[in-house]
Structure 1
Amino acid sequence: MTQLRGKRLPGAGRTTAAVLGLVAALGLGAIGEADAATAPGATADRFGDRPHGFASLEGGTTGGAGGKVVTVTDQASLAKYAAAAEPYIIRVQGSITAEPFGANIEVASDKTIVGVGDGGELVQGEFHLSPGTHNVIIRNLTIRDSAVEGNWDCKDTDFDGIQMDTVHHVWVDHNRFSNICDGQLDVRKDSEYVTVSYNRFENNNKTFGLGWTTNVKTQITIDHNWFANTKQRNPSVDNAAYAHLYNNYLTAQADPGDPVWTYGNWSRGKTRMVIENSYYQDVQHPYQADATAELVQRGSILKNTTGRHDEWGAAFDPREFYDYRLDPATAVPALVKRFSGPQERIGVVLRVPGDYPTVQSAVDAVPDGNTVPLTIAVAPGTYREKVFIPATKPNILLRGTGQDRSDTVIVYDTPAAYGGSTGSATVRIAANDVTARNLTFSNDFDEAAHELNGEQALAMKTTGDRIVFEDTAFLGNQDTLMTDSPKLTTVSRVYIRDSYIEGDVDFVYGRATTVIERSVIRALSRGSATNNGYITAASTWKGNPYGFLITDSKVVSDAPAGSFHLGRPWHPGGEPDAVAQVLIRNTELPAAIKAAPWTDMSGFSWKDARFTEYRNYGPGAATSPDRPQMGDIEARAHTVADYLKGTDGWAPYARH
């Protein structure tokens, strides 16, 4: 690796709005610790899936991005994937005890190793990165209990938690290290571009060391870590070119009676160290420097400290290399206590196009039988591709990262004439427990250009259960959105909220139990003065009392007055047991809606279906014999909760 040259990033040195909000809320220390952790800006970027600091430079650290995702529960699987030549994102589920005691897990390049929830553990083992290893992320794990009973100094063992020699681009984040013999984290022998953030180091003698070299090469960022009941090396930094320590919390040393070897931060050899806005409580020798080293300290708080507080030399300016957010030192104890160590909400985020070139390639990376929620974050842009989430890949959040749902569009142009109804869908979701958020799904097939009329061209088809669409848009003409189930008697549930749906013929259809809440439905004109289309075409199984519910929404249209139907009953293949159920309630209807809004389909009378309205309003709302109205008592059993709860009590609306 070549020596890093300083380069100031755009915007470096500017205080972010989040920090200003936090400072204001803190009142320069007048606020309590509990309040500090929930102050404005306190949660921002605490769980980001990309490293900051030195690990973000010179190409950055992406770990196993682009590789397959695997979940491991035993030592053999962990060792197999960690040492593999190809990239992997390895999720550690539950506790793995290494055998024999102190055994190494060799970690090769291009790996992400991340704990599932807050329960992923490596017990009595070590992650070992050999010389030449690069691009490694280790996150959200507990690494513990490799200390030998009664052997505090560990002079005769080398059982580290994580050890790396002559590596580059490594991010160690949100882990907990406890009771390890010897070093909890050793960054050794000219390792470069390392960031160590939001970890808990506890119950140890030799905690966190850097160096074992006469060369002055290492660049390391160390921030928001908690050192508690630790004796020495918190950290000790030997011959590092640049060591940036900020917003760390050091407290409760294990052996404050030792006048020499109980200490906080040490700048050794020719290290250039900068310490900013950290918090030292009950610490002996909070920060010290060799005569040959440099140490700059600013903004830290010292509470009940003794011994050395060395400051000399110019060190360096971290903002010449990267931008960063500096939290007030007064907030550090509360922030670090709350956000350091493994966190339930940290998971794997697959980025498109950063980690994977297409949405489908990211879906393909999700492991079959996926049991833990996994996010596919799609950057703003137009993705002209077809996407299929198979039934074997549940628990996915598909999320657009733009400011608006229109910023991120997945679109294709297949009509049913070329691929069948199902084959025409731009996106198909067959898996359970899939959520899509802040996205637009479109089928932009141009009927006129292909001399076709009334051609099905789906933007979205779902057959899975517990599907959620939040702040999404569905664009198309005929059959825009199909919410279905694997077979007639299987009930699948779909919840659509704060979204937009447009089309002309049967553009919300299928047999899934589907709730559309607080959304806009646009009925597009086909140029007719009398019949421009049908909003719904439900095919609810007769044994299912809940089909489609459109509630607290708004229907809009540019079609002429009295030219659009609310729906018609769809009996696929003439199936007599598909008896549509649709309730439209508390929804604004435009003048385009017909006075008799329900109509027959394929020889089946709308009067035999279960079509009702309840308390709709607007120029298209009315009461007449051709517009069945639900009574107040029955309406109490036709709420969003009733439609979605099923036998498992599913309540996606409760998250809001």
Structure 2
Amino acid sequence: MNRYLPGGLTLAAALLSPAAVAAQAPVEYAVGASCGQGAAPCFTSVSRALEAAARDTSDRWITIRIAPGDYFEKPTVTRSRVRLIGGGAARTRIRFGAVAQTAKAYHRAGWGTPGSATLTIDATDVTVTGLTVENTFDYLANDRLADGDPAKIGNPQAAALLLDIHSDRVLLDQTRLLGYQDTVFANGGRAIVRSSLISGNVDFIFGNGQLLIENSEIRSRRRAAPYAAGEFQSFVAAPSTPLSQPYGIVFYRSRLTREEGVPDGAVALARPWHPTTKFADGRYADPAAVGQVAFIDCFMDRHIHPEHWTTMNGTARDGTVTDVFRPQDSRFSEVRSHGPGAAARDIGMPRGQEIDIVSVRRAFMAGWRSAE
């Protein structure tokens, strides 16, 4: 057990040289309006503060305090043990408007969807608190255009948050993650979203990572494209969880709400995403990406479709987009749903896939490191 001395240093640290102690002590940076008002190094943008943090090769925590304001930028967290602390989600907002169609240059492999993310986290032990992260691409204006219109963007995915491949043990607390299609891309290790708001419409929480969302609001947003009653207009989650991974996207004690204009019965809880992947014998939908998603003790409003789940197309081995993946063949489950949209029509979902939150939390918290 560590023994702490005044100032927060451990007994072991106190026995080190002054230089070694300084290398272990937490450090703070300031961003925005608070520049020049304290002793902390100060930066005019979140990106510049993160670049400075990345040059620090010590193992200490770096806290970046972001003053209230609007930051129009596209920051990336690449250093582990970093905290981003805003002045409250309603007051500190990071915004950018990239869209998949033109965002390929932002991604290492030229993939537009992750390249579009406003905030990218590609490190371990990262905490984000009191911030809004928003993708401001005008999805509705594009959705309003008719198919075939030369002005219409064909790939309108526009992520707010990318949890990239090196991310793990990421905590987002009291945040707002705002977008439309593909708002949150879980493409790394474990992340927890707590006491927050996530908004979007098409597959707006998706990926192969492990994401625990608890005590949060999941707000479905409207679309501008024509909608026929009884059809699926939007989809909350699209997991592509590998079979080797027990957990994918888990919602716990959260509220599934809607903004004005989202019809009754128009939104699916999830659909199974089998991403097109390159194999030795061709490019086709990954058969091992058998998505796992669970809703535990969640409130559901009337916008949730009576069937709750739906299918998703994939790329067949001959290159055509014909394979249909069914929720019945995935790892989808819900326990103790309540609210006017909770009653589900039986579509033959398999039994015995229920999971308990204690097991989920144990798996998510293993090896977690705290900044406190």
Q: Describe the superposition over 1:384-432 as per-residue Cα deviations: whole angstroms up to 9, x where unpaired.
A: 0010112xx10000010x2x31100000001000111121111111111
Post-superposition shift, 1:639? Answer: 4.5
Paired position in structure 2 for 1:621: 342
Paired position in structure 2 for 1:296: none
- Is contact 1:369–1:394 with CA below 8 Å preserved after alignment? no
- Which residue of 318, 322, 333 corresponds with 1:612? 333
- Is contact 2:328–2:348 with CA below 8 Å preserved after alignment? no
- Is contact 1:523–1:535 with CA below 8 Å preserved after alignment? yes
Post-superposition shift, 1:95? Answer: 2.3
Paired position in structure 1 for 2:130: 438
Paired position in structure 1 for 2:365: 645
Paired position in structure 2 for 1:509: 206
Q: 1:627 to 1:482 in 2, by over 3 A?
A: farther
Q: CA RMSD in A?
A: 2.6
Q: In structure 1, what is the Cα distance between the partners aligned to 2:359 and 2:121?
A: 25
Q: Does 1:458 align with 2:159?
A: yes
Q: 1:437 to 1:629 in 2, by over 3 A?
A: farther
Letter in structure 2 aligned against 1:496: V
Q: In structure 2, what is the Cα distance between the partners aligned to 1:504 and 1:454?
A: 15
Q: In structure 2, what is the Cα distance between the partners aligned to 1:97 and 1:605?
A: 61
Q: Does 1:409 align with 2:93?
A: yes
- Which residue of 281, 284, 287 corresponds with 1:576? 287
Q: Does 1:477 align with 2:177?
A: no
- Is contact 2:131–2:176 with CA below 8 Å preserved after alignment? yes
Paired position in structure 1 for 2:120: 428
Letter in structure 1 aligned against 2:361: A
Paired position in structure 2 for 1:547: 248
Q: Describe the superposition over 1:545-571 as per-residue Cα deviations: whole angstroms up to 9, x where unpaired.
A: 111110101010141111101111111
Paired position in structure 2 for 1:357: 44
Paired position in structure 2 for 1:384: 72
- SS of residue matched to 2:243: coil
Q: In structure 2, what is the Cα distance between the partners aligned to 1:629 and 1:619?
A: 23
Q: 1:590 to 1:467 in 2, by over 3 A?
A: same
- Is contact 1:370–1:395 with CA below 8 Å preserved after alignment? no
Post-superposition shift, 1:542? Answer: 0.3
Paired position in structure 1 for 2:356: 636
Q: Does 1:96 align with 2:17?
A: yes
Q: 1:509 to 1:370 in 2, by over 3 A?
A: farther
Paired position in structure 1 for 2:22: 115
Q: Describe the superposition over 1:637-656 as per-residue Cα deviations: whole angstroms up to 9, x where unpaired.
A: 6654144134x3x387xx9x
Which deviates the most, 425-434 or 453-462?
Answer: 453-462
Post-superposition shift, 1:531? Answer: 2.6
Q: In structure 2, what is the Cα distance between the partners aligned to 1:479 and 1:547?
A: 16
Structure 1 gap ranges (5+): 1-45, 48-91, 99-112, 118-345, 486-491
Paired position in structure 1 for 2:197: 500
Post-superposition shift, 1:116? Answer: 4.8
- Please give the residue correspondences for 1:285-324 in structure 2 after superposition, counting only pairs within 5 Å: none
Letter in structure 2 aligned against 1:466: R
Q: In structure 2, what is the Cα distance between the partners aligned to 1:394 and 1:97?
A: 23
Q: TM-score, length-normalised on structure 2?
A: 0.77
Q: Does 1:536 align with 2:237?
A: yes
Post-superposition shift, 1:629? Answer: 8.2
Paired position in structure 1 for 2:81: 395
Which deviates the most, 437-446 or 369-378?
Answer: 369-378
- Please give the residue correspondences for 1:176-325 in structure 2 after superposition, counting only pairs within 5 Å: none
Letter in structure 2 aligned against 1:481: V
- SS of residue matched to 1:525: coil
Q: 1:636 to 1:423 in 2, by over 3 A?
A: closer
- SS of residue matched to 1:452: coil
Q: In structure 1, what is the Cα distance between the partners aligned to 2:14 and 2:59?
A: 10
- Is contact 1:433–1:465 with CA below 8 Å preserved after alignment? yes
Q: Describe the superposition over 1:238-276 as per-residue Cα deviations: whole angstroms up to 9, x where unpaired.
A: xxxxxxxxxxxxxxxxxxxxxxxxxxxxxxxxxxxxxxx
Q: TM-score, length-normalised on structure 1?
A: 0.44
Q: Percent identity?
A: 34
Q: In structure 2, what is the Cα distance between the partners aligned to 1:483 and 1:522?
A: 18
- SS of residue matched to 1:545: coil
- Is contact 1:612–1:627 with CA below 8 Å preserved after alignment? no
Post-superposition shift, 1:572? Answer: 1.3
Post-superposition shift, 1:443? Answer: 0.4
Q: Describe the superposition over 1:251-307 as per-residue Cα deviations: whole angstroms up to 9, x where unpaired.
A: xxxxxxxxxxxxxxxxxxxxxxxxxxxxxxxxxxxxxxxxxxxxxxxxxxxxxxxxx
Post-superposition shift, 1:359? Answer: 0.4
- Please give the residue correspondences for 1:52-91 in structure 2 after superposition, counting only pairs within 5 Å: none
Q: In structure 2, what is the Cα distance between the partners aligned to 1:493 and 1:369?
A: 23
Q: In structure 1, what is the Cα distance between the partners aligned to 2:171 and 2:355?
A: 23
- Is contact 2:94–2:132 with CA below 8 Å preserved after alignment? yes
Letter in structure 1 aligned against 2:288: D
